Amino acid sequence: MQAFVEPLFVNIAIIFSFTHLLNMFFPLHPGVIPSYKNQIVFGLISGAGALVCMLFPIETLKDSFFDLRNVPIMIVTLYVGWLPGAICSIIVAIARLAVGGELAWLGIVLISLAYVVCLIYHGFFDEDKRRWVSAIYIALVYTLFYMLFIHTYLDFLTIDFYLVYFSSFLIAFFSCIFLIERLVKINMQLKETVYLDKLAVAGQMAAAIAHEVRNPMTTIRGMIQFLGSTTTDAKLREHSPLLIEELDRTNKIITDYLSMVKPDVPKLETVPLEKVLRDVIALTAPYGAINNVEVTASPLGPYNVCIDEPKLKQGLINIIKNGIEAIEKGGTIHLYRYKVTKRSITIAIEDNGKGMTEEELEQIGLPFYTTKAKGTGLGMMVTYKLIQDMDGKLRYESVLNEGTRVLLTLQLCTKRNMVNGEEVG
């Protein structure tokens, strides 16, 4: 049995090492669809990991070669998609053919089986709420087929082999999924930490300049308004509204800064989420109609959330407004229930606009980052803060030229966490 355990233990260590290596160079984030270039890199690195596993096979089983090379194929196909999975499978298949032997064809069949099974169930695995259920189902299906094939064509395998090998296979598969999920959460926390650091810097700047800038601005605005209404100079009368508009826009930037950084404890209360969405759609639908965009929502159900209603409305209006402005030639924005747990509900705000690249997704919510010609980049920063103040979460998913989906998670009101509008722990 020791001859089985040692190489398989080395294989598991190799798979974990390559997972960490991949995360170092390409940090894993939920909802981010890699570019084709990055997908190729994912496939090559996964293929390299599988090849290293093949260097440490179980060597006491005649001319057969057993290792955990199929785990990288399954993981990369499930998490990234068909292209990196195909690249990894082709690399492993070529290597297996190069090794040779009478049973090379069986190795190719098992490689293909790993890829096809994961490709079929990739869509189910991609949904957060079904991930672990899908993973268990995929592992059972593949394991049963794997055992059927080798039991049919390799009659010299013992019970000890079946127990050790398939236990190691399942441990490697599920542990790798657990590791990736943990890395994704850690990356999200690091991203939030960086964001909060930048928010603190922006706050210090705002506190330092807001008061000093606003006073002379108010004086200048008043003088321009007075002169514009009394002067006989045609040019001054013509341009004074534009000057006032720009001063008001500058004042709004300062207001956004202050609302973003000032200490503000949200007043949480129990509110029907359906009602909030109806109000928000009523407020944003006219703006959408002007831009030839239809704003709609599916029924959410009788869910009460613990929120500061004005703040949530402001955040949702900002998100929908951004979606409307991202749709260039008319389209739709649809709100619907995405996921419900015992403690939270996630709603999706999905548009069919121009979408964003990976680089643009990484920059959302940072100070002064915007894709709009006249934007300041502070609107989404304010929105992130509003949602975070209510213990909510905001996540963006986007595909360039296809559209964007915003996932907003809010805490449900239960007897456990809310009594008469007050949090009780």
Length of the chain equals: 425
Do 107 and 14 share a structural domain? Answer: yes
Residue 352 scores a pLDDT above 70: yes
Residue 178 scores a pLDDT above 90: yes
Q: Which residues on neighbouring strands pair with residue 344, listed in sequence order?
A: 411
What average pLDDT does range 402-412 have in this prediction?
90
Do 201 and 181 share a structural domain? Answer: no
Residue 424 lies in a domain: no
Do 298 and 256 share a structural domain? Answer: no
Last residue of a domain, one of 241, 260, 279: 260
Instruction: Identify the DSSP state of 348.
Output: E
Residue 420 lies in a domain: no
Exposure string for 141-150, b = 16+ CB within 10 A, e = fewer: ebeebbeeeb
Residue 418 scores a pLDDT above 60: no
**What pLDDT, on the 0 to 100 scale, is given for residue 378?**
63
Q: Please state, as a whole number, how many other Cβ atoms lie within 10 Å of the Cβ of residue 388.
A: 17
Site of tokens 């089983």: 61
Q: Read off the pTM.
A: 0.64
Q: Which residues on neighbouring strands pair with residue 271, listed in sequence order?
A: 305
**What pLDDT, on the 0 to 100 scale, is given for residue 236?**
78
Q: Alpha-carbon distance 394 to 408, whole Å?
A: 5
The more confident residue out of 193 and 7 is 7
DSSP output for 158-195: -HHHHHHHHHHHHHHHHHHHHHHHHHHHHHHHHHHHHH
Site of tokens 């890699």: 34
For residue 171, what pLDDT band results from cuts at 50, 70 and 90?
very high
In 341-423, beta strands by DSSP E = 344-351, 393-399, 403-411
What average pLDDT does range 176-189 have in this prediction?
89
Which region among 299-313, 337-351, 371-385 has the lowest average model confidence (pLDDT)?
371-385
Domain of 232 in residue numbering reads as 193-260
Distance from first CA to last CA of the chain, Å, rounded? 51
For residue 47, what pLDDT band results from cuts at 50, 70 and 90?
very high
Residue 418 lies in a domain: no
Token pair for 194 = 């960086």
Which region among 194-203, 296-305, 313-322, 406-415 has the lowest average model confidence (pLDDT)?
194-203
Q: Alpha-carbon distance 224 to 239, whole Å?
A: 10
**What pLDDT, on the 0 to 100 scale, is given for residue 377?**
58
Q: Alpha-carbon distance 255 to 249, whole Å?
A: 10
CATH number at residue 15: 1.10.1760.20
Which region among 193-197, 257-261, 313-317 has the lowest average model confidence (pLDDT)?
257-261
What average pLDDT does range 224-253 have in this prediction?
80
CA nearest to 298, candidates 340, 342, 347, 346: 347
Token pair for 6 = 């040692």
**What pLDDT, on the 0 to 100 scale, is given for residue 368?**
52
**What pLDDT, on the 0 to 100 scale, is given for residue 311?**
84
Do 216 and 334 share a structural domain? Answer: no
**What pLDDT, on the 0 to 100 scale, is given for residue 259?**
63
Instruction: Report residue 284: phi and psi, to 5°.
Output: -95, -20
SS3 state at 315: helix
Which region among 129-133, 223-227, 417-421 has the lowest average model confidence (pLDDT)?
417-421
CA nearest to 73, candidates 138, 3, 13: 138
Q: Alpha-carbon distance 334 to 349, whole Å?
A: 6
Instruction: Report residue 280: phi and psi, to 5°.
Output: -65, -45
Residue 168 scores a pLDDT above 50: yes
> What are the pLDDT digits (tens) for 75-134?
999 998 899 999 999 999 999 999 888 888 999 999 999 999 999 988 788 766 678 888
Which region among 250-259, 306-315, 334-343 has the lowest average model confidence (pLDDT)?
250-259
**What pLDDT, on the 0 to 100 scale, is given for residue 300?**
87
Do 397 and 372 share a structural domain? Answer: yes
Domains held by the chain: number: 3
**What pLDDT, on the 0 to 100 scale, is given for residue 180?**
92
**What pLDDT, on the 0 to 100 scale, is given for residue 164?**
92
- 105 residue type, one letter: W
**What pLDDT, on the 0 to 100 scale, is given for residue 205?**
65
Give the chain's mean pLDDT.
83
Q: Please state, as a whole number, how many other Cβ atoms lie within 10 Å of the Cβ of residue 80.
A: 22
Last residue of a domain, one of 190, 213, 245: 190
Q: Alpha-carbon distance 350 to 402, whole Å?
A: 11
Site of tokens 């639908």: 285
Residue 53 scores a pLDDT above 90: yes
Cβ–Cβ under 8 Å, residues 301 and 262: no
What average pLDDT does range 301-307 have in this prediction?
90
Token pair for 322 = 């951004």
